[in-house]
Amino acid sequence: MATRDSSLLDVRGLELEVVAGAMRKTLVAGVDLRLERGETIAIVGESGSGKSLSARAIVGLLPTGVVARAGQVIFDGRDMLQESPREVARVRGSSISMIFQDPFTMLNPLLRCSKHIEEVLKIRVDNPITNRAEARREALARLVEVGITDPTAADRYPFQLSGGMRQRVGLAAALAGDPAVLIADEPSTALDVTTQAEILDLLKDVQQKRGMGLILITHDLRVAFSVAHRVYVLYAGSLVEVSTSAALEHEPLHPYTLGLLLSEPAADRRLDRLVAIDGSVPGPDEVAERCSFASRCEWVTDACLAGKPTLSTLEGERETACVRIGEIRSEMSAAHLGAKRLVVVTPLEHRTRDENAILRATGVSKVFVGRAGNEVHALRNVSIEVGLNESVGLVGESGSGKTTFGRCVVGLETATSGMIDVGGIRSEDYSTLTREQRTAIRKTVQIVFQDPYSSLDRTETVGAALREALVVNGFPRDGVKRRIAELLELVGLPAGYARRRPAALSGGERQRVSIARTLVVEPKLIVCDEPVSALDVSVQAQILNLFRDLKDEFGLSYLFVTHDLAVVRQVADRVYVLYQGAVVEEGPTEQVLDRPQHDYTRRLIASIPRSAV
């Protein structure tokens, strides 16, 4: 273990807060990080953990209003928090560089790709290249380094490139100053599954070849394990565990890390019940004087509430902030191993042709006419069936047409050709339906959307939203109040939530309300359009469990649209794989995921992050 002085980068006791007039809100409450030369570390945390802000503090790029309250960021013997902005700017790019999550917004839309690299080459501290032609030659070489060998790409504008290509250009630009440290903030999250794996591999590759220090910010423990040597787990603004990847994967030593690992839906096996962490992430100020995880921890005792625990070294390089680790370690270990064994394969009898199918779509095509008159074939001759009380997964990447199909089913889009039969009513074109038919379809199929933050009208209370849905669908007014309470209870929310507005709910709670709203009409089929992909992992499992419970209780059918194979594994009985608008493979979930027949399916499965060890 290297001594602290020789570390490439050393962050000590970093505290961040946002200041607005007299209001102060803690965002990060004490983070220590150490990065050695040639090492990759990962900072793992859910939304609100402060992981991105901590990274931005290192490069002096905190958003307006956010300030470092305490701590040091020691690089090259200097405390970056104390240096002048000009000095920090000199370090940025040339010594510490950073790339961001969204390739679609990261590049200047008015600048050709190679310019993003050339401008850094010109101003970098070591060996700046001022000659234009030389800078361009070097930029082309840098593009080759990130796997862009086509020289014409250099002269394109960002809007002419795909997301993966843009992320590569971004990486080349971030590396143009040959930094000693690269910070990558969720570099693959906004990309398609297969592209994600490519970008992560590229990052790993570049890091090794350059012997560079890499800090990976991610919400996904699997991604962290696959790339990083060591992992820092951040929760509600403070570190709860630090460990090598291998050791952490083998045995987590903090209940939060354990919960995170367990609640991650497994892609390789179906679990009887997903382990969820109840509740949601608190704000750092709420947990300033106690263990930040105490409110959600099953092992909580008074000792956890007595004060803020700090990291303590356990063995070797392992550190944990759990004060009870000595007492509960064996229990945690048992839970961890137990979960691994919790393999429940439920091979449903494969129904080939269901006379009672709730949804039967045959030969559905959808063509969008683009702005310039060009045609985009979103769906090509897609045939899909969903049986009664069956959960069908629709898997594909962005642009595969999976969402478009779901929208066609509920009438938010109209198919260009083909036949859609919902509960015995031909519904491919809603505009030709009678009022009665529309009502009948509406009472058969409903939809849950991806984004919990805009799924509810933020100007009305939860109760008002449910009341509107009930009244519009002819529910007698005098029973509305009781029914609202019932609906909320069904999705696991207290009746008092009816008085709340969406702003007072967490992402998971909003998604529960969205589900309750679909239940108003007592539908037989719910189209679920990526319903958990915007949620934190610890909350995802809660919602997936809820979906399963509702299915059993009401005999619901699902059309589960998702890009996430692990989610499909947990909720779907049967799977359709969509690629470029066409179904390339279908079958029972186990069969498709374990013995994929089509090349594309194999590629999808191969791109699931796996640990490096």
Residues in 190-249 at the binding interface with another protein, rule: CB under 8 A: 190-192, 219
What values do phi and psi take at 464, rounded to 5?
Answer: -65, -40
Q: Does 563 bind another protein (CB under 8 A)?
A: yes
Place of tokens 């000693």: 180
Task: Pick the closer one to another protein by CB: 119 or 198.
Answer: 119
Nearest to 389 by CA among 527, 545, 556: 556
Looking at residue 120, its amino acid is: V
Q: Which of 96, 94, 11, 7 is nearest to 50 (CA)?
A: 11
> Which residues are registered as beta bridge partners of 23?
20
Q: Could you say which residues in the range 66-85 bind another protein, by CB under 8 A?
A: 66, 85
Indicate the residue among 67 and 246 with the shorter CB distance to another protein.
67
Torsion of CA 573, 576, 577, 579, to 10 degrees: -160
Phi and psi at residue 247, in whole multiples of 5°?
A: -65, -40
Task: Kindly state whether residue 17 participates in binding another protein, applying the rule CB under 8 A.
Answer: no
Beta strands per DSSP E along 139-282: 181-185, 213-218, 230-235, 238-244
Query: How many C-beta atoms surround the C-beta of residue 306 within 10 A?
Result: 12
451 binds another protein (CB under 8 A): yes
Query: Looking at 66-114, which runs of residues are DSSP E strands?
Result: 66-75, 78-79, 96-99
Contacting range for another protein; rule: CB under 8 A; set: 251-259, 354-362, 421-429, 452-460: 452-460
Tokens describing residue 405: 């199909």
Among 322, 394, 408, 456, contact with another protein (rule: CB under 8 A): 456
Say which amino acid occupies 96: I
Shortest distance, position 471 Cβ to another protein, whole Å: 10
Question: Considering only residues 490-549, where is the footprint of another protein by CB under 8 A?
Answer: 507, 514, 517-518, 520-521, 530, 533-536
Total Cβ atoms within 10 A of residue 573? 25
Candidates 29-37, 240-248, 301-309, 464-472; binding stretch for another protein (CB under 8 A) = 464-472
Within 258-317, the residues that bind another protein by CB under 8 A are: none
Q: Cα dist. 396→77, 412, 450, 600 in Å?
A: 48, 20, 15, 10
Residue span binding another protein (CB under 8 A) among the ranges 31-39, 53-61, 314-322, 545-553: 53-61
Angle between helices 537-554 and 507-519 (to 10 degrees): 20
Our finding on whether 411 is near another protein (CB under 8 A) is yes
Half-sphere exposure of 127 (CA within 13 A, CB side): 7
Residue nearer to another protein on the CB measure, 116 or 551: 116
- List, as one string, the DSSP characters of 144-163: HHTT---GGGGGS-GGGS-H
93 binds another protein (CB under 8 A): yes
Q: Does 168 bind another protein (CB under 8 A)?
A: no
Residue from 26, 30, 124, 277 that binds another protein (CB under 8 A)? 124
Which tokens go with 378? 């979103």
Task: State the nearest-atom distance from the C-beta of 147 to another protein, in Å.
Answer: 19
Applying CB under 8 A, does 467 fall inside the site for another protein?
A: no
Instruction: Output 50 or 401, the one with its CB closest to another protein.
Output: 50
Provide φ and ψ at 519, rounded to 5°: -70, -10
Q: Is 572 in the site for another protein (CB under 8 A)?
A: no
Longest Cα separation, the chain? 79
The answer to whether residue 157 forms part of the interface with another protein (CB under 8 A) is: yes
Task: Among 301, 398, 416, 591, indicate the residue that binds another protein (CB under 8 A).
Answer: 398
Strand partners, 421: 360, 426
Least gap, CB of 492 to another protein (angstroms) = 20
Q: Which of 438, 483, 500, 598 binds another protein (CB under 8 A)?
A: 438
Number of other CB atoms surrounding residue 389 within 10 Å: 17
91 touches another protein by CB under 8 A: yes
Distance CA 149, CA 140 (A): 8
| Interface region with another protein, contact rule CB under 8 A, candidates 204-212, 239-247, 266-274, 453-461 | 453-461
Q: According to the binding rule CB under 8 A, does residue 136 interact with another protein?
A: yes
Closest to another protein by CB, 25 or 229 = 25
Interactions with another protein, residue window 324-353 (CB under 8 A): none
Q: Out of 33, 143, 165, 176, name the contact with another protein by CB under 8 A.
A: 176
Two tokens, residue 425 = 């009513």
Given 2, 13, 76, 132, the residue binding another protein (CB under 8 A):
132
Q: How many CA atoms lie within 13 Å of 90's alpha carbon, on the beta-carbon side? A: 10
Residue 159 as a binder of another protein (CB under 8 A): the answer is yes
* Number of amino acids touching another protein (CB under 8 A): 109
Specify the stretch interacting with another protein by CB under 8 A; choose among 58-66, 70-78, 241-249, 583-591: 58-66
